[in-house]
Amino acid sequence: MYDDALQRSIEPGTPTTQARLDTVQALSDAGFRVGVFLMPVLPHLTDSVGAIDEALRRIAEAGADHAVYGALHLRPGVKPWFFRWLQQEHPDLVASYRHLYPGAAAETPKDYRRWLAARVRPLIRAHGLQVQSEEEHDRTRGIMRARMRPAPASAPPPQPQTLF
């Protein structure tokens, strides 16, 4: 979550977004290829172009190599808790969420997922966060790192590694 107040509300006691991005930065600085899950994207709360663009900007600046996104998935057991939270924090969105997650549905409808993909994928590309081959990764990250900060003169070039 890239909205600090929303993150504290829905994930109390968890590491802040900045703490998570600091970990991404440390791993990237150590030479690891780092991917970030932009999940869950919350319909009507974090799915605006502005929110997604800001999140991906921060992810790229932290040195991530790629980002993977997905809409909120409400598994059994989580769904009642989430709807109670939604009723308390955003009662104006309850009807929309009941439409997006009817009955026992855990996923958003395909139409929403297609809409989200059309919104997110161009932004992922714009921030250089699409999954790439090793060769593409080395070329793209080298260009982006040169723009963001100079590499230390005494450090050997980082070796690309995938954590997962």
Residue-wise pLDDT for 66-100, tens only, equals: 999 999 999 999 999 999 999 999 999 999 999 99
pLDDT at 154: 53
Residue 82 lies in a domain: no
> Is position 15 within any domain?
yes
Stretch 132-161: mean pLDDT, rounded? 50
Token couple for 5: 């107040």
Hey, what are 87's tokens?
A: 């009723």
What is the sign, positive or negative, of the torsion defined by CA atoms of 102, 104, 110, 113? positive
Q: Do the beta carbons of residue 138 and residue 146 sit within 8 Å? A: no
pLDDT at 143: 45
Give me the domain span that covers residue 129: 4-72+108-148
- Which of the 8 DSSP states describes residue 68? E
Look at residue 164 and tell me if it is in a domain. no
Residue-wise burial string across 71-82, b where 16 or more C-beta atoms lie within 10 A, e elsewhere: bbebeeeebeeb
Question: How far apart (Å, rounded) are the C-alpha atoms in residues 79 and 94?
Answer: 12
Indicate whether 29 pLDDT > 80.
yes
Query: Is residue 139 in some structural domain?
Result: yes
Rounded to two decimals, the pTM is 0.78
Q: How far is CA 124 from the centre of its chain?
A: 10
Q: Is 52 helix (H, G, I), strand (E, B) or coil?
A: helix
Q: For residue 44, tell me if it sits in a domain.
A: yes
Residue 39 inside a domain? The answer is: yes
pLDDT at 160: 54
